[in-house]
Structure 1
Amino acid sequence: MLEHGGRLRRAAQQYGIPLAEWLDLSTGVSPWPWSLPNIPTNAWMRLPEDSDGLEAAACRYYGAEQLLPLPGSQAAIQLLPKLRRPGRVGVVSPCYAEHAQAWRGAGHSLREVSDQEVSHHLERFDVLVVVNPNNPTGRRIEPGVLLEWHAQLQARSGWLVVDEAFMDCTPEQSLVASCASRPGLVVLRSFGKFFGLAGARLGFAFAEPRLLASLAQLIGPWAVNGPTRWVAQAVLGDFHEHVERRRDLADASRRLAGLLGEHGFAPHGGTSLFQWAVSMQSHALREHLARQGILVRLFDSPASLRFGLPPDEDGWQRLEHGLRTFNQMESLR
């Protein structure tokens, strides 16, 4: 199993700090969950049905003609490699590590490349995987560039797989509405990050109908549970709140970038949901913050930290104190 953010119980045990006293900034999930509707009893008692309205609500939200609900976009990440015979796969890296692991584990020959290297290697790939905006760097690749790559791949029956898990804050840059039904293009979206409902385990895949049908057959029936389907319909239809939430997240992310910069950890990239700072002090800062009950996400290559958004003013003050005391400690060395 790969390392991920959000392993709060393990951190609480490791550092001897009660679970309730932690500030978890490790996940890149919105710190403000949506107001949830009451879930009717029959959503718990009956098997979920495709005709309950979730697909229609999601199509309206994403501007798509067709989609496949998933038990988290992770399900598609793990299963898509099984829909192709072993071939040559490129993954634009660094990125969410599950992509490379899934393709490699299914027997594909894998090469990790930077986005600047794609044009040099693209003719050798049968599949190219891109996370856009990228996690953890926050780097964005323009839709026009992605579509050029897709055209080259599709001309030889290849695929471009685009993971848009962090795209909800910038929907105008998404490929879903205008392009997601093109042959050879697969787009993945995550429900939990923008809506602050990671525990719902819901995502969506967008692709041509034949590919969606093959993916659905691998996933099997009743993939998304009834209560999640009910909640998601209400949340996806709350268009006024979507606009306000995007504004609030962008404001908080700018504040986070400023705070990190004030303490010598100016971000090298980010999105409205997180900031990413590269530093040789990453391991030491991560340990210092953890001892104060603040969990951030550490990456080894390059040595860097991803900071999620504090949920409230107390969280902001705790993070500021942690950064300040780290610098004070370092100045005494």
Structure 2
Amino acid sequence: MHDLIARRGRKGWLIVDEAFADTNPALSVADEVAEGRRLLIFRSFGKYFGLAGVRLGFVVGPPSFLAAVRQKLGAWPLSAAAIAIGTAAYRDRDWISRMRLRLTAEAVSLDTVLSEAGLRPIGACPLFRLVETDNAQALFETLAARAILTRPFIENPRWLRFGLPADENAFVRLKEALVHG
């Protein structure tokens, strides 16, 4: 990543969406942010911690750039509750470690279910898997009829994204729906 940042020079900004980086901190390029580097990173709190209703996010960038934005726009207001919840969550290192292991194991299980149904999982984010298939829309409709929600993509009608099933029963329901329709 450092080479990519260096090659950009002053031609423009590299903006990195690290909304899912908490699942694997090795993916983060936050350490690359420095004065003089045109690199901005956006982070989301709610996706990893499963608290989408807590309106909390972060931008990491060169200090002079962030100061200019703050001067222009003012401080972005956050609720005291969001700050307290975010602080407590990030301090719970044991939960974070356990969740990373759990998500990785559950993603492997999802890969197995999808592969057994003839679908090839794409990507490495342990929160979901993307598949590419000619019958994505039909599969979406079949699963929705069984109360299994997936995410289709208008911009690529061959894609369908599967979130991790909530528990073992949900894995069984998904497997049955993929096999029997």
TM-score clears 0.5: yes
Map Cα deviations across residues 64-97 of structure 1 (whole Å, 9 max, x no partner): xxxxxxxxxxxxxxxxxxxxxxxxxxxxxxxxxx
Q: Tell me how far 1:248 sits from its aligned partner.
A: 0.3
Structure number with the bigger relative contact order (C-alpha 8 A, sep ≥ 6) is: 1
Alignment of 1:33-52 (within 5 A): none
CA contact (8 A) 1:296 1:308 kept: yes
Partner Cα separation in structure 2 for residue 152 and residue 221 of structure 1 = 32
CA contact (8 A) 1:258 1:266 kept: no
Q: Tell me how far 1:209 sits from its aligned partner.
A: 1.0
2:49 to 172, 181, 195: 195
Find the counterpart in structure 1 of residue 165 from structure 2: 310
Q: Tell me how far 1:238 sits from its aligned partner.
A: 0.7
Partner Cα separation in structure 1 for residue 131 and residue 73 of structure 2 = 37
1:250 to 82, 104, 107: 104
Map Cα deviations across residues 279-304 of structure 1 (whole Å, 9 max, x no partner): 00100000011111111000242511
Q: Compute the RMSD of aligned alpha carbons.
A: 1.6
Q: Tell me how far 1:222 sits from its aligned partner.
A: 4.9
Counterpart secondary structure, 2:8? helix
Counterpart secondary structure, 1:188? strand
Partner Cα separation in structure 2 for residue 165 and residue 308 of structure 1 = 15
Structure 1 residue 181 and structure 2 residue 34: aligned? yes
Partner Cα separation in structure 1 for residue 61 and residue 134 of structure 2 = 41
Q: Tell me how far 1:218 sits from its aligned partner.
A: 5.1
Q: Tell me how far 1:256 sits from its aligned partner.
A: 0.3
AA aligned to 2:123 is: G
CA contact (8 A) 1:270 1:276 kept: no
2:174 to 305, 319, 322: 319
Map Cα deviations across residues 158-207 of structure 1 (whole Å, 9 max, x no partner): 2111111111121122111x212242111111111111111102111111
Find the counterpart in structure 2 of residue 297 from structure 1: 151
Alignment of 1:203-214 (within 5 A): 203-214=57-68
Counterpart secondary structure, 1:200? coil
Q: Tell me how far 1:219 sits from its aligned partner.
A: 4.8
Partner Cα separation in structure 2 for residue 201 and residue 265 of structure 1 = 35
AA aligned to 1:181 is: A
CA contact (8 A) 2:136 2:157 kept: no
| Structure 1 unaligned spans of 5+ | 1-145, 327-333
Q: Tell me how far 1:230 sits from its aligned partner.
A: 0.8
AA aligned to 1:234 is: A
Partner Cα separation in structure 1 for residue 157 and residue 171 of structure 2 = 26
Residues 320/306 of structure 1: CA separation in 2 closer, same or farther (3 Å cut):
same
CA contact (8 A) 1:277 1:305 kept: yes
Give the length in aligned residue pairs: 179
Partner Cα separation in structure 1 for residue 76 and residue 3 of structure 2 = 36
1:229 to 59, 83, 91: 83
Q: Tell me how far 1:217 sits from its aligned partner.
A: 4.1
Moved more, 218-227 or 302-311: 218-227
Partner Cα separation in structure 2 for residue 302 and residue 270 of structure 1 = 21
Using the aligned pairs only, state the percent identity.
37
Residues 201/218 of structure 1: CA separation in 2 closer, same or farther (3 Å cut):
farther
Runs of at least 4 residues off by over 4 Å? none
Residues 317/150 of structure 1: CA separation in 2 closer, same or farther (3 Å cut):
same
Residues 314/218 of structure 1: CA separation in 2 closer, same or farther (3 Å cut):
farther
Alignment of 1:2-21 (within 5 A): none
